[in-house]
């Protein structure tokens, strides 16, 4: 695939963890990748690693909850890499607390990054996808969408991502654009390490306890999520639309 026909992907929240894994995998699939996160400097190691392997990548700093910042970032990506036709909405944060302790600021922060961010990024990219007659939007949900103690904000946001995905699938399908969601289970990342610290457990004990409940007997990795994103982003996945896949090592309702 030469540069003139190379598809351009944007992965948000790509400075580390799942986002970095997805960005790397899409680059391995032959795409040019915009590695987008709040801090552009934090994105550069991922972008540099892709470039070192012979790929094309661009580190982009952007607050996905800021409409002006999103428009500027997507325009820059289109100018420097090419029109984006693959978008992975992965950016997310946690502000865990029990309902009676949760502040409005903790609720709003999570909603703004997950849902507002996915909305703004999808809106900014869909025109490029429509013009190309092809697009792939992949949204990151979570098994927490099914409910999780201490995560009323996060669970609501991740459930919202599923409804958002299905609506995009209905509205954009006729333009050759599909929208699907991935709902990870326990994935070994910096975020889950932070959760272990928050609940006062060692990472080893926390990981072992999680793995004991998973039918395949292990925690997931960013590569597990990246493999699913890779499938959704392919041209041959064009008849898969509006789906939510739980990548959790076992069945989830």
User: Are residues 125 and 200 located together in one domain of the fold?
Assistant: no
Q: Which residues form the domain of 125?
A: 8-185+224-246
Secondary structure element (H or E) that encloses residue 105, with its range: helix 104-111
pLDDT digits over 82-95, tens only?
A: 999 999 999 999 99
pLDDT reported for residue 37: 98
User: Are residues 83 and 41 located together in one domain of the fold?
Assistant: yes
Confidence of residue 2 (pLDDT cuts 50, 70, 90): very low
Decide: residue 201, CB within 10 A, 0-12 exposed, 13-18 middle, 19+ buried: middle
Annotated catalytic residue 154? yes
69 has pLDDT over 50? yes
pLDDT reported for residue 198: 81
Strand residues in 50-109 grouped as ranges (E): 57-61, 84-89
User: Are residues 180 and 109 located together in one domain of the fold?
Assistant: yes
The count of domains in the chain is 2
pLDDT digits over 174-226, tens only?
A: 999 999 999 999 999 988 898 889 889 999 999 999 999 999 999 999 999 99
pLDDT reported for residue 5: 60
Length of the chain: 253
Active-site annotation holder among 107, 128, 154, 186: 154
Asked whether 177 and 126 are in contact (CB, 8 A), the reply is yes
| CATH number of the domain within which 61 lies | 3.40.50.720
pLDDT reported for residue 194: 87
Asked whether 137 and 127 are in contact (CB, 8 A), the reply is no
């Amino acid at each position: 695939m030469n540069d003139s026909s190379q598809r351009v992907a944007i992965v948000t929240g790509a400075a580390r963890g799942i986002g970095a894994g997805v960005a790397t995998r899409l680059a391995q699939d032959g795409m040019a990748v915009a590695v987008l996160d709040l801090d552009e400097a934090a994105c550069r190691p991922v972008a540099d690693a892709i470039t070192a392997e012979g790929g094309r990548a661009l580190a982009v700093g952007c607050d996905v909850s800021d409409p002006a910042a999103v428009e500027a970032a997507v325009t820059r990506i289109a100018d420097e890499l090419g029109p984006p036709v693959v978008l992975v909405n992965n950016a997310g944060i946690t502000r865990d607390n029990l309902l009676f302790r949760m502040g409005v600021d903790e609720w709003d922060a999570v909603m703004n990054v997950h849902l507002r961010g996915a909305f703004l990024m999808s809106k900014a990219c869909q025109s490029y996808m429509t013009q190309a007659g092809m697009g792939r939007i992949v949204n990151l949900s979570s098994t927490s969408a099914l409910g999780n103690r201490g995560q009323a904000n996060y669970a609501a946001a991740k459930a919202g991502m599923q409804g958002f995905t299905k609506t995009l699938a209905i509205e954009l399908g006729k333009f050759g654009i599909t929208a699907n969601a991935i709902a990870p289970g326990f994935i070994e990342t910096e975020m889950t390490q932070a959760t272990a610290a928050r609940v006062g457990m060692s990472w080893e004990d926390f990981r072992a306890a999680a793995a004991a409940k998973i039918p395949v007997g292990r925690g997931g990795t960013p590569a597990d999520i990246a493999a699913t994103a890779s499938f959704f982003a392919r041209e041959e996945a064009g008849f898969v639309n509006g789906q939510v896949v739980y990548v959790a090592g076992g069945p989830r309702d």
